[in-house]
Structure 1
Amino acid sequence: MEFTMPRIRIIALLAALIALSSWLAACTEHDPVKPVPGSDDPFAKTHSDTFTLRAYALDSVYLAGTVNNWSTQDPAWQLTLDADGYTWRLITDVPDGLISYKFIIRKGAAMAWLTDPSAVEVDPGGGSPSYGNAVRGRTFVTPQALPQPLDRARLVIYETNINELSSTGSFAGAYGALTSGANLADLGVNALEFLPVTAPSYNGWGYDPVLQFAPNPSFGWPSTFALLVDAAHANGMAVILDVVMNHMAGSTPLRQLDDFTGRNDFTTTESNPFGMVEMNWANAALRAHMIDALSHWVSAYKVDGFRFDYISGEPYSTWVTIKTELRARFPDLLLIAEDFGYPANSVTYGYDAQWGGNHTDSWGGGGNNFNQVLITALTESGFAWRGQLSNSIGAFGPAYNNMWAVANVISGNSNYAGAATGDGFSDIKYLESHDENRLVWAVDNLGSSGAQGIGGSAKAFLGAVVNMTSVGVPMLFGGQEMGSSEYRPEGTSIYKVDYIGGDQDLRRAYKRLIRLRLNHPALATENVFFQWRGGNIDQTEYTMTYWRGSTNVSSQAEIVVACNFDHNDHAWDVPFPAAGTWLKYDLAAGTVTVTSVTGGSLALTVPASTGWVFVREDGVSGVP
């Protein structure tokens, strides 16, 4: 069908085209209108940014970088001093995309280039991050939050080093390890504790930080770390970061500032066991710098908590300051302290937990925390510090009441001065950590002849049973679930864990125990009931039985644990809280069998160095 446009419409269309042509012609006679920075214009090529430097006794501070062809005294890029006397600030427009920069500091005739101590990213340029360029402008999506808040009673922590978690030793490698290789999602842990990921002076453990805000560039970009946290959260795993607050590497820009001004504003002349530079927590600028750094990791990356290294390096007043500031900003943040004090420690001052599970009894030859007591019992010998080739703590034998010592650290500790009564989940309990020997190595090299005859690989199953059924927060160190057995000398050497060729039977045992730990109501309580045999026979045969219950009524307990720490088999009537059907977990054999209990006990022969777990089968609390 032929279509004819009405004459009036043709005239109107021609008029519109003439008007458009006139407007376009006018535009060519003038410079295009530049979008206003910070406006909603999607084509804006610049944005407002703020640069700050906390520093004392300087005459001037300039920014030099790709934004101004590295000019060292560009008036457009000069920072001004705030009224507080130490905060230098510049608010200006910067181009979108990545920019690199340094600060130029001057005092009298002296001038120095300084890496921004608050750099959120750094390009080391082949050298130390402290001499590299600060980088800004990399964007990433903020990670999703955890599906549920952290609950210490439902927490199993996996401590690991980014360097050791994958063959690449990178954030990307750790991202892959969540679902392959180490396959931590399959293992079932619900919290990852990473050794420091801040930019260090070398590519090692990270306990010598140079920059507190920036991820280690050898691990990857900030955006990749954000993806790692997001994926961990998507798999139900919290992310906890080890942080070092009381000392830093000598190459830190904060020390460079003090050296330049000839003062001790940010650092002190105090010594520490690590040969690092001590931080001056009495200084307001240093306190603000450190608290802002911690807050940055929570705000930008949604990390869920921190484990603070070397608590004894600062008075508790420092840790109270950190705790108070962080709690005000992030009330749900998990705060863990590496603190072995007793009876007063960081828990006394409001921290959620401390490493160890400390007690001061004289049993077990002097070991005073979970790690030392359990290693003494499993080696049937004693405890050695990492790197040592002989035991230095603990002793094993009937005279030392080792089973009472083990019972003490299995229980919750209600004796911390000032802590909530019976807060058993204020203890992080572990058989291995980055600071300790491998359990398998300790048994095979430092154990008694009887223990060595059993072997560290077999003893590891018993250790797993006790670790996962104790009151407190259990923690594994990367590779422990595979029976890793390398010798770790004193120092910060890196060892790649064999997640494919490791002990898969032990890993399956841990996987089953972790599932039990996170799902059974009895293991989310502090209720533990020890069943000792008369005549002190448990101390001479190195056996023990304990129950765990979801209520404080022992007859209602739903879990029975029978342990034999000796290198010989032992038979005894294992007491049960009730008759009925129970599920028997034989972790070493990899089986779960139905067991009928008809009286108040069950006659059992528990093999050497074995732990069995029995779960009341009531159709509700059993977790096969």
Structure 2
Amino acid sequence: MRPLFGPLLRPEGTLFRLWAPDAKRVSLALPEGGPVAMEPVEDGFFEVLLPEARAGQRYRFLVGGRRAVPDPAARRQDGDVMGWSVVRAELPPLRQARPPRPWHEVVLAELHVGTATPKGSFEALIGRLDHFAENGITAIELMPVADFPGRRNWGYDGVLPFAPDEAYGSPAALRVLVDAAHERGLGVMLDVVYNHFGPEGNFLPAYAKKFFTEAHHTPWGAAIDLEQPLVRRFFVENALMWLGEYDFDGLRFDAVHAFAPPGGDLLLAELAEACRAVKPEAWLVLENDHNAARWLERDAEGRPRFYTAQWNDDAHHALHVAVTGEVSGYYGDYAEDPVAALGRAMAEGFVYQGEASAHRAGEPRGERSAHLPPTAFVNFAQNHDQIGNRPLGDRLAGAVEPERLAFLRFLLLLGPAIPMVFQGEEAGIETPFPFFCDFSGDLADAVRQGRAKEFAEFFATAGELPDPLAPETMESARLDWDRMTPEALVSFRSLAAQRRRLVWPLLAGTYGGAELRREGAILFWRWRFEAGVLCLLANPDVVPSEIRLQPRQDGVTVGEAVFDGTHTRLGAWSACAWVEPA
């Protein structure tokens, strides 16, 4: 695919392009010398070839002769989003090309580059990669790294999606990080945001009004107009850059339920097709509150037709309600019978497969998902949203008993869905992850007020909130590596080894469906695969319970379990997993 957006290095110089269909004239501004007029060409683009411009050249665009704006497709930015765009040099070559790890072998850790290490950089994260490889994690997922305003951000306020934020390091440093992970046998995913731009530093409305539509609105304002082919092309080129130039193994697409219809479906189809043309085995993962199972369908050989998997919020909510008893906000949809919700989430993927959702004013939500393989779902007990969108950014490790945490960890690692932990969760640390950003003035006040209002609606008592604009709020989220001790990691490392032994060989073959049996609070799942049947027995309740069942003796158990030959008695928050012949 010939790129349309961003500067192109050619033997005869650098071609600069800007899509500005609402501009009458556009010039190229350089640090030295006067502006260079750009010529209008087809489809609303302006371009100019500068023979003397090479890698490292700083530039901006002057729209209408006066307004200086960055290149929205800049591959590098100097001086934050209001600074100079930079012509990026070629990225370092691969040191050792390796085939990607099979998706069914993924044990995922979600990371925020700015807080995952003391220095918060791509380079610093390289020094911590051995931790993941040695403790059973097989892939890392970076929260968005696209250029955002200021020095602190979760990443979802990015405005220059092609440029890694300079707070984390250079594009070359990011490329080296991916390569270093691959050398250790780790896969690397990146979270990308195509449903909105951040509230500061987005100049597209000034010269490309077609990028947005007032016909649809999102929580972040006017929706991106995905009916425009060039708008969709912008995001497709971005995805291909991460996969092709940086060699990421996969992408996680943030909140695709916020894509404005009908262009949203067009973009999802085009993204999947283009990404698989560049990297056929790419891990393409959705966040989609609509539970649209059609995007997760498999072909006759079991390969994804479109997307590899979806973050399974339903499974998280069911687990959370069962373990904590919280029922406010969207958790109310799982409060009537959390055990049943948990059973269905692990057996069939989605809890809501077309049923009415009270949290959504009785509207039906979801599509049938029971036929999909478990690897079409990424399950988790915590992630950046479910921690950071709490008033204090508190984790489960500081809120529930150790036996409940052990129970959650067991279900995630010995269930057949792809498991994910949030940075440090593998060691059970309590380091909070509150929301933080780096705005100023009226925007900063609006963020403070908005967060307070959101928490007041969701939580009965929020107490004093961390100031999301304060530097110390981000500092409080920095991972405490002194607590990532071998002793703290014993349980996770052991379960990851059992997952390799029991679960991976089954997931490598054909899936034949799941069965769920319930007796009181006890749940018994049987997932059928070509190579065997994965069995999991669990008691997600505060009291012991009994079932007429005898697990195999070569299984794995968490919590108290007593087998008397005909019955199994499970203590509170206890579970067993084993494999039976096909």
TM-score of the superposition, structure 2-length normalised?
Answer: 0.76
Q: Distance in 2 between matches of 1:305 and 1:515?
A: 24
Matched, 1:422 2:422: no
Q: Distance in 2 between matches of 1:51 and 1:456?
A: 58
Measured after TM superposition, the shift of residue 73 of structure 1 is 2.9
Q: Give CA-to-partner distance per residue, 1:30-84, whole Å, 9 cap, x none.
A: xxxxxxx988xxxxxxx73222211114343332324xx1x2334xxx43333x2
Q: Distance in 1 between matches of 2:199 and 2:174?
A: 26
Matched, 1:522 2:506: yes
CA contact (8 A) 1:346 1:354 kept: no
Q: Distance in 2 between matches of 1:429 and 1:524?
A: 18
Measured after TM superposition, the shift of residue 586 of structure 1 is 4.7
Please give the secondary structure, in 2, of the residue aligned with 1:428: strand
1:190 is matched with which residue?
138
CA contact (8 A) 2:74 2:162 kept: yes
1:20-99 superposed matches below 5 A: 48-66=13-31, 69=32, 71-74=33-36, 78-82=37-41, 84-94=42-52, 98-99=56-57
1:336 is matched with which residue?
285
Measured after TM superposition, the shift of residue 372 of structure 1 is 1.2
> Which of these residues, 384, 390, 406, is aligned with residue 434 of structure 1?
384
- More moved, 97-106 vs 265-274: 265-274
1:112-123 superposed matches below 5 A: 112-123=67-78
Please give the secondary structure, in 2, of the residue aligned with 1:165: coil
1:280 is matched with which residue?
225
Q: Distance in 2 between matches of 1:321 and 1:94?
A: 36
Matched, 1:173 2:110: no
Change (3 A) 1:458 1:240: same
2:5 is matched with which residue?
none
> Which of these residues, 481, 487, 505, is aligned with residue 499 of structure 1?
481
1:544 is matched with which residue?
523
Which AA in structure 2 matches 1:111?
R
Matched, 1:407 2:352: no
Change (3 A) 1:425 1:214: same
Q: Distance in 2 between matches of 1:232 and 1:561?
A: 32
Change (3 A) 1:560 1:332: closer
Q: Give CA-to-partner distance per residue, 1:513-551, whole Å, 9 cap, x none.
A: 22332443135464676685xxx6x31xx3334455653
Measured after TM superposition, the shift of residue 185 of structure 1 is 1.2
1:159 is matched with which residue?
110
Q: Distance in 1 between matches of 2:558 and 2:225?
A: 50
Measured after TM superposition, the shift of residue 338 of structure 1 is 0.7
Change (3 A) 1:479 1:528: farther
Change (3 A) 1:418 1:352: farther
> Which of these residues, 237, 252, 256, is aligned with residue 311 of structure 1?
256
1:352 is matched with which residue?
308
1:577-588 superposed matches below 5 A: 582-586=553-557
Q: Distance in 1 between matches of 2:525 and 2:153?
A: 42
1:104 is matched with which residue?
62
CA contact (8 A) 1:244 1:308 kept: yes
Which AA in structure 2 matches 1:50?
L
Measured after TM superposition, the shift of residue 136 of structure 1 is 2.2
Which AA in structure 2 matches 1:79?
M
CA contact (8 A) 2:309 2:375 kept: yes
Which AA in structure 1 matches 2:25?
S
CA contact (8 A) 2:556 2:576 kept: yes
Measured after TM superposition, the shift of residue 247 of structure 1 is 0.9
Q: Give CA-to-partner distance per residue, 1:321-372, whole Å, 9 cap, x none.
A: 3323333444332221111324655326822211217xxxxxxxxxxx2111
Please give the secondary structure, in 1, of the residue aligned with 2:269: helix
Change (3 A) 1:56 1:489: same
Q: Distance in 1 between matches of 2:201 and 2:295?
A: 27
Change (3 A) 1:296 1:319: same
Sequence identity percentage: 20
1:151-300 superposed matches below 5 A: 151-179=102-130, 183-202=131-150, 203-255=152-204, 258-259=205-206, 261=207, 264-269=209-214, 272-276=217-221, 278-300=223-245
Please give the secondary structure, in 2, of the residue aligned with 1:467: helix
Q: Give CA-to-partner distance per residue, 1:66-125, whole Å, 9 cap, x none.
A: 4xx1x2334xxx43333x23222233333656221212233xxx522121111111012x
Matched, 1:476 2:425: no
TM-score of the superposition, structure 1-length normalised?
Answer: 0.71
Change (3 A) 1:122 1:97: same
1:13 is matched with which residue?
none
Measured after TM superposition, the shift of residue 588 of structure 1 is 6.7
Measured after TM superposition, the shift of residue 162 of structure 1 is 0.9
Q: Pairwise CA RMSD of aligned residues?
A: 3.6
Q: Distance in 2 between matches of 1:423 and 1:356?
A: 13
Q: Give CA-to-partner distance per residue, 1:449-488, whole Å, 9 cap, x none.
A: xxxxxx4322111111111222322211112212233565
CA contact (8 A) 1:385 1:437 kept: no
Q: Distance in 1 between matches of 2:192 and 2:122?
A: 17
Please give the secondary structure, in 1, of the residue aligned with 2:194: coil
Measured after TM superposition, the shift of residue 575 of structure 1 is 1.9
Which AA in structure 1 matches 2:198?
A
- Structure having the higher Rg: 1
Q: Distance in 2 between matches of 1:564 and 1:418?
A: 26
Q: Distance in 1 between matches of 2:568 and 2:488?
A: 23
The gaps in structure 1 that reach 5 residues or longer are: 1-36, 40-46, 358-368, 446-454
Q: Distance in 1 between matches of 2:234 and 2:334?
A: 42
The gaps in structure 2 that reach 5 residues or longer are: 1-8, 298-304, 354-365, 436-450, 452-467
Q: Distance in 1 between matches of 2:228 and 2:535?
A: 54
Q: Distance in 1 between matches of 2:220 and 2:88?
A: 35
Q: Give CA-to-partner distance per residue, 1:411-457, whole Å, 9 cap, x none.
A: 24497859894333211111111111499845865xxxxxxxxx432
CA contact (8 A) 1:347 1:426 kept: yes
CA contact (8 A) 1:482 1:499 kept: no
Q: Distance in 1 between matches of 2:121 and 2:329?
A: 29
Q: Distance in 1 between matches of 2:369 and 2:524?
A: 29
Please give the secondary structure, in 2, of the residue aligned with 1:436: helix
Q: Distance in 2 between matches of 1:437 and 1:295?
A: 30
Which AA in structure 1 matches 2:57?
I
1:466 is matched with which residue?
411
Q: Distance in 2 between matches of 1:467 and 1:583?
A: 19
Q: Distance in 2 between matches of 1:284 and 1:98?
A: 31
Q: Give CA-to-partner distance per residue, 1:541-582, whole Å, 9 cap, x none.
A: x33344556537xxx64x5534332333445554236xxxx4
Q: Distance in 2 between matches of 1:442 and 1:102?
A: 46
Change (3 A) 1:283 1:404: closer
Change (3 A) 1:404 1:280: closer
Measured after TM superposition, the shift of residue 178 of structure 1 is 0.6
Please give the secondary structure, in 1, of the residue aligned with 2:61: strand
Which AA in structure 2 matches 1:53?
L
